[in-house]
Structure 1
Amino acid sequence: MHPETIQQILLVRRPKGMPVEEDFKFDQAPMPKPVLNEVLLKTLYVSVDPYMRGRMSDRKSYVPPFQLDEVIKGGVISEVIASQTPEFSEGDLVIGNLGWRTYQTAHEDELRKIDEKLAPITTHLGVLGMPGLTAYFGLLDIGQPKVNETVVVSGAAGAVGSVVGQIAKIKGARAVGIAGTQEKLDFLKNDLGFDEAINYKDGDFYEQLKQTCPNGVDVYYDNVGGEVSDAVLRMINHGARIPLCGQISLYNLEKPDIGPRVQSQLLINSALMKGFIVSDYAKEFQEAEQILAKWVQDGKIKYRETIVEGFDNIIQAFLGLFEGDNIGKYLVKIADQSK
């Protein structure tokens, strides 16, 4: 028996600076029923991601902002519990950009079936999902690391950065990771095989950067922006490539960030800085997912997940992203698969 009502989370106020719990509302709604070409889904795992903060502000971005008093959407793994389409059967596991709801209906076009044999299902929100694909395309298409080059990754212990450094190693480059706690530095060096890992909170961060990158920086995979990126950009080599993936240090600022201008560094070093969105590469997702899965199966890419349990903990998990609470992909487990 399924419940008569579902739980859901609405955005009720646009955050000013760091989001707070009062910006969100836990709500109840009647259990929906699927119509033709739809399925009824039970939510198993919800992904919390830094990009969602941008969608909470009413400003132009690469995706439209969330609407007030509507359910927040993000990456969700669900189980099909009733189907009105031949595309999906009861018991199928699917992934899609879905609502923060315990149950919901979705059109068949919004969903992709998960291959449970590739790897544990949670990886489809992490190393084999949007974060892993972001790392893959940003590094290999824009960064193009070569043997013995130095690749620096900020936000290196997160879902994207941890994969970037390992792909750099697969390609024969040196990987230098930047993170914010000793636990994360140990994870990067001891578990993932980064050559060096440095703490951006250390007073001598820039000196450490110079020591760990004696030959300069050939590729800088930028996940954080701000002062960390200012320091790395002072060290780029001629012909450096800078994939611009995220700017998490700036997402909660209430005023525009004023920092060093990067144009002169790019100019004198004939360097390339290019922003990108993973959906730019949608036609190549399937092939990339297979390559990433093979690397995971062969032990060339390792991953860690930070999983908290309970629908009631989604907001806390999202806010924790900006405090650096997670190592690897941050997920919220909502329910178990039906047996």
Structure 2
Amino acid sequence: MAQIGDEVKNKQVIFRDYVNGFPKESDFIITSATIRLKLPQDSNGLLLKTLYLSCDPFMRMLMKNQPSPFSYSPGSLVFGYGVAKVLESGHSDFNEGDLVWGMLKWEEYSVLEDPGKLIKIHHTDVPLSYYTGILGMPGITAYFGFHDVCSPKKGEYVFVSAASGAVGQIVGQLAKLMGCYVVGSAGSREKIELLKNTFGFDEVFNYKEEPDLNAALKRCFPDGIDIYFENVGGKTLDAVLLNMRLHGRIAVCGMISQYNLDQTEGVHNLMRLVTQRIRMEGFIANDYFHLNAKFLEEILPYIREGKISYVEDTVHGLENGPAALIGLFSGRNVGKQVVSISKE
């Protein structure tokens, strides 16, 4: 096992160049550098060992050539959410041995000079990988997107698209715990079975087998939809708008169907927002990170008591990270996509 002060190989994933259309493995470079496991003198940062990395749809947006301080730069390291162990600390808020989650570089070891936004992990009776998912950014997205943005009430009718993914599977189960009627859509027979048999959705459908999404929604929601948790966009959103009830709420979490298009699809039924008095609101998880302690108080008991299940799709080794990330956009993953780097 490597010790502080040792010089070790450090596998990395480099972003090759801006991406048009669907990303490919060739858009990334797997390389190996050398790192000395020691913080620079007088550093206020952290030396981290990466344990798990998260593959998330928002990372596709960072691959575009568009003005943004958060976009990937050609030739630079890929970054995203992950879990790491502190090997050495120059920061007063962190100690050697601490476990943290937050935005990490896609490499086996990292020096992070500004660790202020990392969140310390205090609960280790659950899998550490959960902090890439149900206890991390996707979990916060699901919990506050549903409870805060959607303002649900018992007995309401809830539709979740991309329902077997990192966020959708949590939203559906939270809605069931609220006493709602919940329908989810997904794109394979395996995912449909998961929604019904593991997550307890009331009704499900495979959108790839439905020639008419409007008809599918009318079949599942003869009385209309109160809440739509939007993960997909495009034709799905258009069909949902035709089926929303009076004073319905739409929480816009993402629109994965649009991320790889050079020209995004238009939405034709927006007038329904007016006639049905629908509230449609976008949000991001960062808006709620300051409420992490409250979130954990609510969600951890559900996990420990078996009231919420969480399914992960895990690949092992940083070299398999790009393929896992790209697989999100063809629906290859079943559950939350995780890259396991080290068990510690």
Matched-pair contact (CA < 8 Å) for 1:55–1:64 = yes
Matched-pair contact (CA < 8 Å) for 2:13–2:319 = no
Aligned AA (1:124): Y
Aligned AA (2:222): P
In 2, the alpha carbon distance for the partners of 1:145 and 1:109 equals: 34
Aligned residue for 1:334? 341
In 1, the alpha carbon distance for the partners of 2:186 and 2:97 equals: 40
In 1, the alpha carbon distance for the partners of 2:66 and 2:227 equals: 30
| Alignment pair present for 1:94 and 2:100 | yes
1:198-251 residue CA offsets vs partner (Å, 9 max, x unmatched): 111113443332121111000010001111221122100110000001000010
Aligned with 2:204: secondary structure? strand
The 5 A counterparts of 1:37-116 are 37-60=44-67, 64-107=70-113, 108-116=115-123
The 5 A counterparts of 1:141-152 are 141-152=148-159
Aligned residue for 2:225? 217
Structure 1 unaligned runs (5+)? none
In 1, the alpha carbon distance for the partners of 2:35 and 2:155 equals: 56
Segments of 4+ in structure 1 off by > 4 A?
none
In 1, the alpha carbon distance for the partners of 2:310 and 2:166 equals: 8
Aligned AA (1:230): D
Normalising by structure 1, we get a TM-score of 0.94
Aligned residue for 1:34? 39
In 2, the alpha carbon distance for the partners of 1:72 and 1:313 equals: 13
Deviation at 1:312, TM superposition (A): 0.7
Matched-pair contact (CA < 8 Å) for 2:156–2:180 = yes
Identical counterparts, % of pairs: 39
Aligned residue for 1:172? 179
Matched-pair contact (CA < 8 Å) for 1:198–1:209 = no
Question: RMSD across aligned C-alpha pairs, in angstroms?
Answer: 1.7
In 2, the alpha carbon distance for the partners of 1:25 and 1:143 equals: 41
Aligned AA (2:150): G
The one of 6, 9, 17 equivalent to 1:13 is 17
Aligned AA (2:137): M
Matched-pair contact (CA < 8 Å) for 1:139–1:243 = yes
| Alignment pair present for 1:238 and 2:243 | no
The one of 240, 250, 266 equivalent to 2:273 is 266
- Shift in alpha-carbon separation, 1:60–1:298, aligned structure 2, 3 A: farther
Aligned AA (2:24): V
Deviation at 1:86, TM superposition (A): 4.4
Aligned with 2:309: secondary structure? coil
Aligned with 2:129: secondary structure? helix
Deviation at 1:187, TM superposition (A): 0.7
In 2, the alpha carbon distance for the partners of 1:189 and 1:97 equals: 33
In 2, the alpha carbon distance for the partners of 1:156 and 1:59 equals: 29
Aligned AA (1:254): D
In 2, the alpha carbon distance for the partners of 1:211 and 1:200 equals: 13
| Alignment pair present for 1:131 and 2:135 | no
Aligned AA (1:68): P
Deviation at 1:3, TM superposition (A): 4.9
In 1, the alpha carbon distance for the partners of 2:117 and 2:34 equals: 21
In 1, the alpha carbon distance for the partners of 2:279 and 2:331 equals: 29
In 1, the alpha carbon distance for the partners of 2:228 and 2:89 equals: 46
Matched-pair contact (CA < 8 Å) for 1:159–1:327 = no
Deviation at 1:110, TM superposition (A): 4.0
In 2, the alpha carbon distance for the partners of 1:118 and 1:219 equals: 33
Aligned AA (1:255): Q
- Shift in alpha-carbon separation, 1:207–1:151, aligned structure 2, 3 A: same
Normalising by structure 2, we get a TM-score of 0.93
| Alignment pair present for 1:197 and 2:201 | no
The one of 180, 189, 206 equivalent to 1:182 is 189
Aligned AA (1:34): L
Aligned with 1:76: secondary structure? strand
Deviation at 1:289, TM superposition (A): 2.2
Matched-pair contact (CA < 8 Å) for 2:234–2:266 = no
Q: Which moved more, 1:175-184 or 1:251-260?
A: 251-260
Aligned residue for 2:292? 285
Aligned with 1:319: secondary structure? helix
The one of 144, 156, 163 equivalent to 1:156 is 163
In 1, the alpha carbon distance for the partners of 2:293 and 2:91 equals: 23
Aligned with 1:155: secondary structure? coil
